[in-house]
Structure 1
Amino acid sequence: MNLESRKLVFIFLFLLVGIVFIGRLFYMQVIDDKWIERAGEVAKRKIIIKPPRGILYDRNKQKVVANKTYYNLMFVEDDIKDFDTVAFSKLIGISVDSIEQRFAQIKKSLDRRTRSKKTGNDTVVNDYRTYLPHAFLKELSANEMAEIATELPDFKGFYEHAISMRDYPSPHGANIFGYLNEINATELNADRRFYNVGDFIGRTGLEKYYEFSLRGQKGVKVILSSARGKRVDNFADGKLDTNAQQGPPLHLGIDIDLQAYGEKLMENKLGSVVAIEPSTGEILAMVSAPSFDPNMMVGTRNIRKNYRKLYNDSLKPFYPRPLAAEYPPGSIFKIIQALVGLQEEVITENTGFPCTQSLVGCHNHPPASNVAKSIQYSCNPYYYHLVKRIIQQGKEKSIFKDAAIGLSLWETYMKSFGLGIKPETDIFGLRSGVIPNVEFYNHWYGEYRWAFSTIRSNSIGQGEVKLTPLQMANLAAIIANDGYYYEPHLVKSMGDDGPLDKFLVKKKSMVDPQHFAVVKEGMRDAVNEPYGTARRARIDDIVVAGKTGTAQNPHGEDHSVFMAFAPLDNPKIAIAVFVENAGFGGTWAAPIASLMMEKYLKGEITNTYKEQRILDKNFIANDE
């Protein structure tokens, strides 16, 4: 090949290569936009904007759960210059050695295990990057930050970063609101689209139940960054950014002033107070005694400081007594027995029974000549006779088979009042109580080896029957409503949307409305007439209907129980009080309920002697 031919070949090859490259570039830049996207991925970085959590208000629009600004002391290692550890130690109040340990701890905390696909072995990978920000100190208060803020510019690479945490303006309702804690691995893996390591999540109470509402929606800010993660500029003039949206406010049925008053009355006592608005099922107060200041559980620092102390407290302030404590109801249970007897027509309003104390013990009172008197006097033998008629109706010749039929019927009635089943309240930690049934006693005694005489203690709310204080208060609401109720609930509206749908469903007991008048009469007389067991529950100018109970306690002093509603003709509040180891229900539980009802209905207490007597009483010291 001559020189001229070779020259043409080289020119041809050169042009061909150039055409190929130009065509490829045209294709990549104009036709196939995935390369533009790839370039954008390299340059773009998404910054997640966390919204503040939703605020909680009580029924009177008082803010009861809010957000408060705290600060993290951040650093970027690459930006730290001429670091004087001695001066820094004096500024933040920790030793030089602790500073070094903190740096090491932060790096160590970013270790993660990964499994090799080739070998199947786990290896440790560290995600610490010297050019990214990390928190040196977390959750500093505004005062703590102010103490170091003026000198912080002297330490290059360190800066403050504001964060939002919970705040409780009123130090009450800890058992209702719950608390937040750092997300665990299981929760994180379940929802990585929203949560990151170190995020806080509702751990108990309303914070947990309404987590997905309260947390709001995260926002996104897209920026251009350098290869080392440094921010360069906004991407596309912010057109791809989305705003964070705060969770909607929760409007509660709780009256925080009533809640605070209930906690005050229950100081130095163990037990519960639950108050409900009968017409809606909204919980007005739910006291678990002893309680604690919910601010004690705000943030990791406080949780580490206080959790173990509260958890190990022998009085169990974490234990949700209104929801989970299952107690024998004592004589308040007679109300429901009377209603079942009337509905089953085994008695009439005017049926009387003798107070035969050889059958079951009782106190001295006039004869219970009708249902209303039996409630007013709280006659034990009356309910022995009455419940025997319910259980042993003679539907079978064998008393054992007959008792099984009767108890099954009785159980169905109890469940229609929400007993023996777990309530659907908008909080966790609920228990169902115990309504013993045929299977229960067959397990204990064997099939057809028991009858009414075996289980007669249930007639007066002893034996195997157990209710939670929430169920006791709801029973009072059902009586106030002549037989129906709405599931007790804490949140009356999520934003402007109202409560959850399930709280708008009217539930009816199996007892017809006309049977409730006579038991209301008996409850009114128990409070307002001679020989009534609940005289200490009286309120001037307000007609209270109530029923005392004294729940036997094999481990010590009996428990004091009372349930009531008021006013009689237009009930605004239904309440149950349970004071552990306090004795007769009329002595302690009844006046506590009276004070709570008066506080709610009148806004003030007229009988200061009654109030001071309750405030002065210390049952915990007696236990110790």
Structure 2
Amino acid sequence: MRKVLLPSLIIIAASLLVIRIFYLQIVDDSFKLKSENNAIKKVYDYPERGYIYDRNGKLMVANQASYDIMVIPRDIKEDLNVAEFCALLNITREEYDKRIAKAKVYSPRLPSVFLSQLNKNEFAAFQEKIRKYEGFYFQKRSLRDYEVDYGANIFGFITQVNEKQIAQNPYYNSGDLIGKQGVEESYEEILRGIKGVKYIQKDKYNREIGPYKEGRYDTIAVAGEDINLTIDAELQKYGEELMINKRGGIVAIEPKSGEILALVTAPSYDPGILVGRQRSKNYTLLYHDSIAKPLYDRGLLAEYPPGSPFKILTGLVALQEGVVNEQTTFMCHHGFSYGGGRFMKCHGFGPHQLHNGIYNSCNTYFGQAYMLTINKYADPGKAVDVWSDHVKSFGLGQFMGYDLPTGKRGNIPTSKTYKRIYPNGGWRSSTIVSNAIGQGEVLMTPIQLANMMATVANQGYYYTPHIIKKIEGKKIDAKFTTKHTTTIDQKYFPPVISGLFDVYNKGTAYALKVNGIDICGKTGTAENFAKINGKRTQLKDHSIFVAFAPKDNPKIAIAIMIENGGFGANVAGPIASLMIEKYLRHKITRTDLETRVLNKSLAAEYAKLGGMNEASKIESVPKDSILQAKIVKPKTEAPKTEAKKTTIDTTKQN
């Protein structure tokens, strides 16, 4: 039996191997398609990219036909009339040689893009003579067709894949397009669809003789899925118009859902300039504009000291920690002394409690409340961590998890922060009191400020901000419908909201009221420092405003940051009132505010920081131009409160 077993196993194994080889080579020839078989040509059918709509069904991004000239270097005939070929495509001989050399480096036998994104007219001229140029053929693709001239930072753009992306994802081949930045990148797999492929048999003379295996392995293209964004197109457009000749960001959120209603960055550009044969040239100009940085989304990336709006959290944390109540009173004498001869200035005077402390934006009240919070604990490190945990429960000091590919954490200091700044110890509540009024080490992005106000509007909870509302045939990520609750009890929010409501009725935003709309808001003015000629210089303050409306059943929360805009009520505040009325009523009654904002230009202010090209304007870039702002962006630094500092000049905090 043992003598038979071994030979039997060998015979069985050999038989199985022969059968498998026969199957692979004779029956199943799909592996031939994966090899570089000279007799089979792959032709891809590129799908239409999914359309992009706003929350109300307005079409914002569609598609247009485009054509790439492809080349297989080894198939080019020696007698090709290069001069005629170059003239036809409007390129130089130098460009021709450079592109051919690049194609050969990629592969002499495989197709690669020679010239991309020809329009219909350019393609028509080439198509008539394509038979004369062996080795070249055209590949039809679908490019974006923007129905609007705003929202560039939201959409992103599509560009050719690079070698690294091809190596990482087998879906892509040389010359394929991929979404970059914005929703084009975030939802690439949904928008791109599925490529179709046809296998064409060629004879020994390299002539096409028909489909391989009668098209058995051919597949059809599947169009990408359409998506609806949470963006309100009209509100987005209006926000960008209000930001002309200004620099900063606007973020508006629907509190009850976390849906982003508007995401404005300024300066911006028309998304249409990143389509077609001039795309690369235009992108290079935008990318290298180190002055205006139009590709830099200030609503998501710019970290600023939040200024007085942060007092909202200072008050809530103090209430939660039980160190103050609604009746707790602090006397303000245009500021207050906080030990060692140090003094924090304030524009207020007289007794202040929570309510009038909010609508008068009293530094004394919130500075004292913050110090009581820290002094509650014997260990200031533990106290700061308790305070920090409360603040972070509003989504601050961390990546928020929204569905856009870029963002910043901001900064909410902890005990580790101060151990690093003061390695020898000695710091206490009076050392870090600037945190109380949104200065010190505190940094926030506009989207974090907007989410903070959405959380206050909801009286203690928020949903992760997101820009996707609907995907055809699919559900949106569950994390966008998951409620996040803060560490502040719900009972402490109504008195704070009452104070925010009276900011419009009695306080710093009285002149910004909109009849018939109950708005709760907070002005802010943040100190602004930058290095100019190597010296740390104080510049004109940033203008900040946060708000939500209506007071009961809020439908919009908003944050506005205007760089070098001055007092919060000067520029940012009017924009908030206008955006809120535009969204709730779809019209504007405060035309006086609208005229004031549209006519307000900060170009001269920005020019002081490094000059401005006389031929440029701070404006949205028209489709037929590449004009952009020429503004120096100062590096914002949070002023640190040091033990030796004797006076904090915060009279501009409002």
| TM-score, structure 2 normalization | 0.81
**Residues 76 and 429 of structure 1: CA distance in aligned 2, closer, same or farther (over 3 Å):** closer
**Residues 44 and 380 of structure 1: CA distance in aligned 2, closer, same or farther (over 3 Å):** same
Matched, 1:592 2:582: no
Counterparts of 1:224-239 in structure 2, within 5 Å, are: 224-227=201-204, 229-239=206-216
CA distance in 1, matches of 2:227, 2:28: 43
Q: Which residue of 1 aligns with 2:513?
A: 538
Q: Which residue of 1 aligns with 2:65?
A: 69
Match of 2:191 among 193, 210, 214: 214
CA distance in 2, matches of 1:236, 1:371: 81
Matched, 1:480 2:457: yes
> CA offsets, 1:132-185, max 9 Å, x none?
877554212224445x36864795657654321122211211112112222222
Matched, 1:567 2:550: yes
Q: Secondary structure at the match of 1:52?
A: coil
Q: Which residue of 1 aligns with 2:351?
A: 367
Q: Which residue of 2 aligns with 1:173?
A: 151
Contact 1:181 1:202 survives alignment (8 Å):
yes
> Which structure has the higher relative contact order (CA within 8 Å, separation 6+)?
2
Matched, 1:250 2:230: no
CA distance in 1, matches of 2:472, 2:103: 39
Q: Which residue of 1 aligns with 2:164?
A: 186
Amino acid in structure 1 at the alignment position of 2:143: M
Deviation at 1:103, TM superposition (A): 4.5
Q: Which residue of 1 aligns with 2:101?
A: 108
Contact 1:372 1:521 survives alignment (8 Å):
yes
Matched, 1:264 2:241: yes
Deviation at 1:310, TM superposition (A): 4.1
Q: Secondary structure at the match of 1:452?
A: coil
Q: Which residue of 2 aligns with 1:548?
A: 523
Deviation at 1:284, TM superposition (A): 0.6
**Residues 37 and 271 of structure 1: CA distance in aligned 2, closer, same or farther (over 3 Å):** same
Contact 2:331 2:350 survives alignment (8 Å):
no
Q: Which residue of 2 aligns with 1:467?
A: 444
Unaligned 5+ runs, structure 1: 1-26, 113-125
Q: Which residue of 1 aligns with 2:646?
A: none
CA distance in 2, matches of 1:75, 1:47: 13
> CA offsets, 1:248-270, max 9 Å, x none?
12211011221111111111111
**Residues 223 and 587 of structure 1: CA distance in aligned 2, closer, same or farther (over 3 Å):** same
**Residues 104 and 315 of structure 1: CA distance in aligned 2, closer, same or farther (over 3 Å):** closer
Contact 1:323 1:468 survives alignment (8 Å):
yes
> CA offsets, 1:274-330, max 9 Å, x none?
000001101011111111111222356412343234432402111121111111111
Deviation at 1:28, TM superposition (A): 10
**Residues 578 and 352 of structure 1: CA distance in aligned 2, closer, same or farther (over 3 Å):** same
Q: Which residue of 1 aligns with 2:501?
A: 524
Deviation at 1:372, TM superposition (A): 1.6
CA distance in 1, matches of 2:193, 2:131: 38
Deviation at 1:342, TM superposition (A): 1.3
Contact 1:442 1:449 survives alignment (8 Å):
no
Q: Secondary structure at the match of 1:558?
A: strand
Deviation at 1:551, TM superposition (A): 0.5
Counterparts of 1:57-136 in structure 2, within 5 Å, are: 57-73=53-69, 91-94=88-91, 98-99=92-93, 101-112=94-105, 127-129=107-109
**Residues 127 and 153 of structure 1: CA distance in aligned 2, closer, same or farther (over 3 Å):** closer
CA distance in 2, matches of 1:508, 1:30: 60
CA distance in 2, matches of 1:92, 1:383: 68
Deviation at 1:404, TM superposition (A): 1.8
Larger Rg: 1
Structure number with the higher helix fraction is 1
Contact 1:325 1:468 survives alignment (8 Å):
yes
**Residues 259 and 585 of structure 1: CA distance in aligned 2, closer, same or farther (over 3 Å):** same
Q: Which residue of 1 aligns with 2:44?
A: 48
Contact 1:324 1:429 survives alignment (8 Å):
yes
**Residues 89 and 497 of structure 1: CA distance in aligned 2, closer, same or farther (over 3 Å):** closer
Q: Secondary structure at the match of 1:557?
A: strand
Matched, 1:141 2:124: no
Matched, 1:277 2:273: no
Q: Which residue of 2 aligns with 1:36?
A: 26
**Residues 374 and 237 of structure 1: CA distance in aligned 2, closer, same or farther (over 3 Å):** same
Matched, 1:316 2:306: no
Deviation at 1:54, TM superposition (A): 2.0
Deviation at 1:448, TM superposition (A): 4.2
Q: Which residue of 2 aligns with 1:515?
A: 492
CA distance in 1, matches of 2:19, 2:495: 87
Contact 1:535 1:586 survives alignment (8 Å):
no
**Residues 165 and 561 of structure 1: CA distance in aligned 2, closer, same or farther (over 3 Å):** same
Contact 2:103 2:114 survives alignment (8 Å):
no
Q: Secondary structure at the match of 1:111?
A: helix
Matched, 1:441 2:418: yes
Q: Secondary structure at the match of 2:251?
A: strand
